[in-house]
Amino acid sequence: MMLIRYTSQIGKYFLMLKEIFNKPTKWSVMKGLIYKEVDDLIIDSLGIVAFISFFVGGVVSMQTALNLTNSFIPKYLIGYATRQSVILEFAPTFMSIIMAGKMGSFITSSIGSMRVTEQIDALEVMGVNSLNYLVFPKIIALLLYPFLVGIGMFLGITGGYIATVYGGFGNSIDFIDGLQRDFIPFHVVYAFTKTFIFGMLLATIPSFHGFYMKGGALEVGKASTVSFVWTSVTIILLNYIITQLLLTK
């Protein structure tokens, strides 16, 4: 019974994706909606992304330095480990899980509130494709999500550099040597590929849970929690699949 319910929900999700692109809203209206979503989802997230990235990069570098107890182990490994950790996993994947809590809960609660107050029904009565009107601007706004993650990568490495050099764990030359050593440009492509896919999930899964929720104000909170859980689970599963496809030979 549970398998049937989950399969039904997955099918409903993909039907929703198809419906989003039917009967588009006029561009003059859509343009304003997109600007608003960019402000709400991207610009408002800059602060928390910058704060978390900077200090996590610092913690990664300090933990790496503290584990280099053997004097024969080169100090450049601090910069190398910081670069690999931030670019490959922290910035694209763990930042996306954090954003599933921030962005996802906001999207689900805003659309769910519109469902509860019958604003979505009013849009449909007026002949508006409510899915296109509500979800499409979020998808377009989150095309800028890789830009947010790129800032996270830069600040994570910067935080690692400052923690290492000014914390007395290593010198600037060794850290920069580690950043440059054995650098594989495809790792950046891999990270941004993941980020783009995760951005689409952040836009659509919370929207799905908000749009199809039933009940009142209490159910809006429950839907936000459920959307966060399923967005995080999907991100983690796809992270494994994408890594298997792109990085393993």
Residue 107's pLDDT is 93
Residue 3 is predicted with a pLDDT of: 78
Structure tokens at 190: 């891999």
pLDDT band at 138 (very low <50, low <70, confident <90, very high): very high
Which domain range does residue 89 map to?
Answer: 30-248
Neighbours of 195 (CB within 10 A): 23
For the chain, the average pLDDT equals 89
Residue whose entry in the numeric block shows the structure tokens 């913690």: 59
Residue 17 burial by Cβ neighbours in a 10 Å radius (0-12, 13-18, 19+):
middle
φ and ψ at 245, to 5 degrees?
-75, -40
* Per-residue pLDDT, 72: 75
Question: Is 25 inside a domain boundary?
Answer: no
> In this structure, is residue 10 part of a structural domain?
no
Domains: count for the chain: 1
169-220 pLDDT, tens digit each: 888 888 898 888 888 889 999 999 999 999 999 999 999 999 888 877 788 8
CA distance 121 to 102: 26
Question: Is the residue at 58 inside a domain?
Answer: yes
Residues of the chain with pLDDT > 70, as a percent, come to 98
Provide the CA 61 distance to its chain's centre, in angstroms: 23
pLDDT at 27 (0 to 100):
86
Q: 249 pLDDT band (50/70/90 cuts)?
A: low
* Alpha helices, DSSP H, located in 68-144: 76-84, 95-116, 119-125, 130-141
pLDDT of residue 48: 93
| Residue in 249, 231, 11, 6 with CA at minimum distance from that of residue 108 | 231
Question: Does 16 reside within a domain?
Answer: no
Is there a domain that residue 226 lies in?
Answer: yes
pLDDT of the residue at 234 = 94
Q: Answer whether residue 49 shows pLDDT above 70.
A: yes
Residue 7 falls inside a structural domain: no
Tell me, yes or no, whether 237 lies in a domain: yes
Q: Which residue has the tokens 């600037």?
A: 172
CB 58 within 8 A of CB 169: no
199 domain residue, yes or no: yes
User: Alpha helices of the chain — where are they, by DSSP H?
Assistant: 2-20, 27-37, 46-67, 76-84, 95-116, 119-125, 130-141, 145-166, 172-180, 185-211, 217-246
Whether the CB-CB separation of 57 and 86 falls below 8 Å is answered with yes
pLDDT in tens, 59-104: 999 988 888 777 777 888 888 989 999 999 888 999 999 999 999 9
